[in-house]
Amino acid sequence: MIKVGIIGATGYAGGELVRLLLGHKEAEIKWYGSRSYVDQKYAKVYQNMFQLVDDRCLDDNMEAMAKQVDVIFTATPQGLCASLVNDDILNKVKVIDLSADFRIKDAGVYEAWYGIEHKAKQYLDEAVYGLCEINREAVKKARLVANPGCYPTCSILSVYPMLKEGLIDPSTVIIDAKSGTSGAGRGAKVDNLFCEVNENIKAYGVATHRHTPEIEQELSLAAGEPVTISFTPHLVPMQRGILVTAYASLKKEVTWEEVKAVYDRYYDKEQFVRVLDQDVCPQTRWVEGSNYVDVGFKIDPRTKRIVMMGAMDNLVKGAAGQAVQNMNLVFGLDEAEGLRMAPLFP
């Protein structure tokens, strides 16, 4: 059994990690780390775990944790993992970081967008960007995995095949995205109160959202040239889910069949990316609670543009599910272990 430690086990992503790992045949959680709930029973924090988890929450001592587990998940705010990780820890355990600390390869870009100093620059080149469908082989050999952000995961997987194949103009990419409120975390914020969110939709982080450079970095690698995007996220009154609608100008006239063949070439063998049928648009309700990403597209011959769409659960494929998928790859397990659940509906 793989022994697991989680730092940030009482946040939404941490709670989802616990839920998924309880159903994992090859993993056992040994350390429920939570700075806010030290010595409190985990099932008191999340009552859905009553009689499923008897453990108490421990602190976030990564050094001590590394002596007891095989892999550490850090589901924490930006800056914490970078402040804790060191050679001694990485020589003992695998680390899968769900924050942004090791996603962006340029420390200056990270510091400019996140407003904090990067405290572990020496690991930026080593860390593997854990988007399994694109970096699978590198993930298998990694000791430090940077689990991608939720918006970037959905955005990149929706656009990647078209950019990689050179079918769209990289300078024209616009990404409009919506997320449920769990994407903002479990901390108390006025903007996330029921009365603020219910019966409302709003754009936020316009032209400044911190996931922008992460998306640009990975799309630039796909295109083989620098890509600058316009990215606008929106908050919608639902608990889970991300919907991405991306737009770009086509470089040449293409048919639906030709574009479908491109998406199938990249995703036909991918268990967790489902390319939808013609004229079927992705919806968050059909992926909720699962590790699936549904992608689709629509060619607009009038404007010579293509609309690329994706939907996924921000807490599963956008966070905990993808982290478990990365863990499976790192330890040579079946990539889908612990992740085979069908989407929930209703």
Instruction: Please say whether the beta carbons of 139 and 332 come within 8 A.
Output: no
Count Cα neighbours of 80 within 13 Å in the Cβ-side half-sphere: 19
Active-site residue 150, yes or no? Answer: yes
Which tokens go with 345? 């509906």
Instruction: Please say whether the beta carbons of 69 and 95 come within 8 A.
Output: no
* 200 burial level (CB within 10 Å; 0-12, 13-18, 19+): exposed
* 188 burial level (CB within 10 Å; 0-12, 13-18, 19+): exposed
Q: Three-state SS string across 284-326, please? A: HHHCCCCCCEEEEEEEECCCCEEEEEEEECCCHHHHHHHHHHH
Q: Three-state SS string across 123-135, please? A: HCCCCEECCHHHH
Q: Residue 341: left (phi > 0), alpha (psi -120 to 50), or beta?
A: beta
CA distance 290 to 275: 16
Residue 187: partners with Cβ closer than 8 Å, 6 or more residues away: none
CA distance 199 to 19: 30
- What amino acid occupies position 112? A
Which tokens go with 73? 């998940």
At 211 the three-state DSSP class reads: coil
Out of 81, 150, 195, 281, pick the active-site residue. Answer: 150
By annotation, the residues acting in catalysis are 150
